[in-house]
Amino acid sequence: MIYETFSPEETFELGKKLGEEAKPGLVYTLTGDLGVGKTVLAQGIAAGLGIEEAICSPTFTIVQVYEEGRLPFYHFDVYRIGDIEEMDEIGYEDYFYGDGLSLIEWSNLIQEILPEKRTDITIEKNLEKGFDYRKITLQEQQ
Ligand code: ADP
Ligand code: MG
C-alpha cells in the first residue's frame, strides 16, 4: 500500500488512522532518513490509539511504553543497541508478541528477531515533488 502526503498534518492523519484501526499484537517497523517524518507518523499512531501524552523519539531508551490508550503502545528505537542480547534483557518478546502495538525504528539492526508477521513502513522524500512531499509505503510481511 502506498500513500502520498504533502504536509506533516497529512502524515499525522495517516498515522492516526493506523492507530485507530490497530489490532492487538500488531508490529510495525518504521524506516526513513532523519527528518523524514517518522516521529510525526508515530505521534499520529499514538493519537489514534487515544494517547494524549507527547511522543518523542525514544533515543535514550530502547523502548518507550505508553499504556493510557486503547491498546498499549511500544515505541522502540534500537539505534543505540550494542548487542542483540540487550533485546532479551528488556524482554522484547513480551512486547512484540503481546497485546499492544509495537512500532520499531532502526529495525534493520535487529533483523534476526523481528516477527515474521509484521508490516514494514518506509517514508521517503522526493524533492522533485516538493519539499513537504512524502511517500509512505506499507508492506505486509508474512
Ligand atoms: P524523523 O523522526 O524521521 O527524524 P520528524 O518527524 O522528527 O522526523 O520530522 C519531520 C520534519 O519534516 C518535521 O519538521 C515536519 O514538519 C516536516 N515535514 C514536512 N512535510 C512533511 C510530511 N509530509 N510528513 C511528515 N513530516 C513533514
Ligand atoms: Mg524521530
Residue among 26, 63, 61 at smallest CA distance from 45:
26
Residue among 117, 132, 138 at smallest CA distance from 36:
132
57, amino acid identity: S
Beta-bridge partners for 103: 28, 75
Predicted confidence at residue 141, as pLDDT, reads: 95
> Residue whose CA is closest, atom 24 of ligand 1?
8
φ, ψ at 77 (rounded to 5°): -135, 105
50, amino acid identity: G
H-run or E-run covering 75: strand 73-77
- Reported as a single tens digit per residue, the pLDDT across 21-43 is 999 999 999 999 999 999 999 99
- What's the gap in Å between 37 CA and the centre of ligand 1? 3
Distances (CA, A) of 90 to 63, 74, 102, 104: 8, 12, 14, 14
Residues 6+ apart with CB under 8 A from 99: 24, 25, 71, 72
Count CB-CB contacts under 10 A for residue 47.
18
Predicted confidence at residue 58, as pLDDT, reads: 64
Q: Which three cell numbers stand for residue 126?
A: 522526493
| Percent of residues, the chain, with pLDDT higher than 70 | 99
For the chain, give the mean pLDDT. Answer: 95
* pLDDT higher than threshold 70 for residue 122: yes
Q: Give the ligand at the shortest distance from the Cα of 41.
A: 1
Would you say the CB of residue 7 lies under 6 angstroms from ligand 1? yes
Mean pLDDT score, 89-108: 96
Of all atoms in ligand 1, which is nearest to the CA of residue 57? 2
Q: What residues have a C-beta under 5 A from ligand 2, the ion?
A: 38-39, 57
Would you say the CB of residue 36 lies under 6 angstroms from ligand 1? yes
Predicted confidence at residue 59, as pLDDT, reads: 67
Would you say the CB of residue 39 lies under 6 angstroms from ligand 1? yes
SS3 129: helix
Q: Which three cell numbers stand for residue 35?
A: 527528518
* pLDDT higher than threshold 90 for residue 53: no
